[in-house]
Chains A and B, each alone.
Chain A
Amino acid sequence: MRVTLSLRGEKKEVEFSGRTLGDLLSSQGINPEEYVFSRNGELILADEPLHDGDEIKLVPVVSGG
């Protein structure tokens, strides 16, 4: 499946084998504790099924000083 990851305005297309957000995160080595995830403005959790062409926004948990 191909999806787009978006972080602080930068976008990257990635391909992974799997079905859910959790599968995507594992495949990309992304720690789910470090981000909150959204799709089309809605927050999603690790068990959320993804679809080809989805854009997933990563919102960093750590920011500021």
Chain B
Amino acid sequence: MKCSKCGAKAVAWLPASNAAYCKKHFNYYYERKVKRLLPKMLDQKKDVVGVGVSGGKDSLVMLWLLHKNRFNVVPILVDEGIKGYRDKTIPYAEKLCRELGLELHKVSFREEYGKTLDEMVKEGGRNACSYCGVFRRDLLNKTARRLGCTKLAIGHNLDDEVQSVLMNFFRGELERIARGGPVTGIIEDPKFVPRVKPLRMCSEKENVIYALINGIEYSDIECPYATTAYRGVVRDAVNMIESRYPGTKISILRTSDRLVEILRRELKPEGGLRYCSECGEPSAEKVCKACQFRNEIF
């Protein structure tokens, strides 16, 4: 197959765009897509961008691109304590940060909450993804704030975004859909570092191709808890539809972004964001989810 732009040997075939690209033109296509989004999320001159990194492809490609585009980045790694998984991905994050001359700020569930995720799962009654989602969000926000970050970039890709939208839709969780979009959160609050998703228009496959073409080494192992997640069922269903009707994922995300605007106007809470009565962190409820979970486990 030949590159649709220059006729050179193609390395990527993108059915949704009905185009094939060589290395050079894939990079051009991919970077242009991300660069178009960045000004809507980040101010290159003013923002200090906390970057959540894990050692996986999405977060490392994101860090690499933000650094390449001269953003002031602060890489943050949350070690949840998943034996045989996180300990194997961390070296990749450390390596890229070394290569880029960046200090990697590492924090962990054990240091912050007293237990690893493995211990929480063993002792608590909930599934791993529930604990991980809540505690990761809490710890990333606290750490980004402590380090003076004005935005927090997370490596959610197109597939993650579409899966989240549909999962929230299937569960009837309108408030969660309203918190989505390119910049998360319904209202502004000094304790909440707004989260941005620079790779939200890039598919998981495009991120793999970009990483391989540009020599960004990453861990390709899967989280051992991922197989139990509802997300996997939604992922398979969406992939099946996308393979028959290319462009479905992008269409779902665009529709969702329009919905987010409408929902935010409807659901905006009066009187600002609430604070957890126990830890003082921003919360949608009287006691935040992290404290609710902590009270259950400890």
Residues of A within 8 A of B (CB): 8, 33, 36, 38, 42-47, 59-65
Contact = CB atoms under 8 A, between A and B. Distances in A.
Contact of A65 (B10, B11, B223): B223
Contacts of A65: 54, 56, 129, 132, 222-223, 225-226
A63 B209 CA distance: 13
Nearest to B59: A64
Contacts of B218: 63
B212 A36 contact: yes
Given A8-B221, A38-B212, A62-B235, A45 B58 contact: no
B209 A36 contact: yes
A47 B222 contact: no
B20 A45 contact: yes
B216 to A, nearest CB: 13
Nearest to A43: B11
Interface of B: 1, 10-13, 20, 54, 56-58, 89, 129, 132, 204-205, 208-209, 212-213, 218-223, 225-226, 235, 239, 242-243
A24 B179 CA distance: 44
A13 B226 CA distance: 29
A43 B222 contact: no
B1 A45 contact: yes
Contacts of B208: 36, 59, 61
A64 B212 contact: no
B222 A63 contact: yes
A62 B204 contact: yes
Given A8-B220, A45-B12, A63-B219, 12 more contacts: A33-B205, A33-B242, A36-B209, A45-B11, A59-B208, A62-B235, A63-B222, A64-B57, A64-B219, A64-B226, A65-B54, A65-B225
B20 A64 contact: no
Given A33-B243, A62-B204, A62-B222, A45 B56 contact: no
